[in-house]
Structure 1
């Protein structure tokens, strides 16, 4: 009988769980567990993949044993950012929405950054700064909530006027969501649209699953697999379009 490779603390990511001989069948494979609603099959994503040479694969960023061997169609010719096939598959629907909105509503912000209040001066600000350094227009509460402005109305406008929602999933976020506060309201609005990318940081998809099955079912990125800077680079490529 197959035995779990992480019996004590659990797997750090959905990818690790899918690779486990004991848990892999439970998740039905990496792409089906973290796929966008489970409705995108690997065959449909092949038209978006651009495979590099064997030497390029061995030099892919992120240090995940050569898994990042792919570039999506929206990567620039000189891009040094590499992806897993699963990431390209799951991010493709988001990119298609971005392109449609860029054509019809060019003045929208690129992303709305949803985060726990406790992370506003830490990991949320780090991600915000990395994104803005790459030219991403970010709606961020610490910058966009002015004094005397009704908070919920400002957040509502930020959600409406952004193309993509980035949800920073941290231990603080997992603690806040059950309380049904502001972060929960932001998440509820974002979950209604197919323009949501979770970024799991300092926690796991398994722990997220205990708090929000809907959010855990959405494909995303994880700092357990790559650095925050690499995550920001992928988000920037995903949401920024050429004018």
Structure 2
């Protein structure tokens, strides 16, 4: 029940957006550069295995294209955003890199789900009080990462 209350506001936003946008992605995956071949890739693979359409920079930025413009398009064309908050992400946000810019857009959209992975919401709050104020999930509360991904898929998939 707590998870329903946590994710329901994002689900309602996703449903509203989907009524007018049938070609977009379900999720934009915001992650630290250092997680791109580890935690973020695992998260992406688990989501796509459940038929969630995910914008993930490692898969969606063609070689030779402007990175920031591609990210901008990915943010625009995604119904909601997952911020995979790891120790590397906290470090990246402190450095005010690309993930920090993505986070700013997602926070402004009201369609953001923070996922604390190998960190806590208290540690997140020390770096980004606004992100930590959004309802989200902590992987430590679940038996597996797959369980967290299944809850997210239930939130963003409309059929």
TM superposition shift of 1:160: 0.2
Give the secondary structure class of the aligned counterpart of 1:136: coil
1:55-94 equivalences under 5 Å are 85-94=1-10
**1:189 alignment counterpart:** 105
Q: After superposition, give the CA deviation of every residue in 1:95-130 in whole Å (9 maximum; x if it has no partner).
A: 111111111111110000000000000000000000
Q: After superposition, give the CA deviation of every residue in 1:58-79 in whole Å (9 maximum; x if it has no partner).
A: xxxxxxxxxxxxxxxxxxxxxx
Give the secondary structure class of the aligned counterpart of 1:129: helix
**2:34 alignment counterpart:** 118
Please state if 1:169 is matched with 2:85. yes
**1:240 alignment counterpart:** 157
1:1-243 equivalences under 5 Å are 85-226=1-142, 227-242=144-159
TM superposition shift of 1:90: 2.1
- Whose helix fraction is larger, Structure 1's or Structure 2's? 2
d(CA) in 2 for partners of 1:236 and 1:90?
Answer: 14
d(CA) in 2 for partners of 1:207 and 1:100?
Answer: 32
Aligned length: 158
- The answer for unaligned runs of 5 or more in structure 2 is none
Give the secondary structure class of the aligned counterpart of 2:109: coil
- The answer for unaligned runs of 5 or more in structure 1 is 1-84
d(CA) in 1 for partners of 2:100 and 2:14?
Answer: 24
TM superposition shift of 1:228: 0.8
Give the TM-score taking structure 1 as reference length.
0.64
Give the TM-score taking structure 2 as reference length.
0.97
Alpha-carbon RMSD across the aligned residues, in angstroms, is 0.7
TM superposition shift of 1:171: 0.1
- Higher-RCO chain (CA-CA 8 Å, sequence separation at least 6): 2
Give the secondary structure class of the aligned counterpart of 1:177: helix
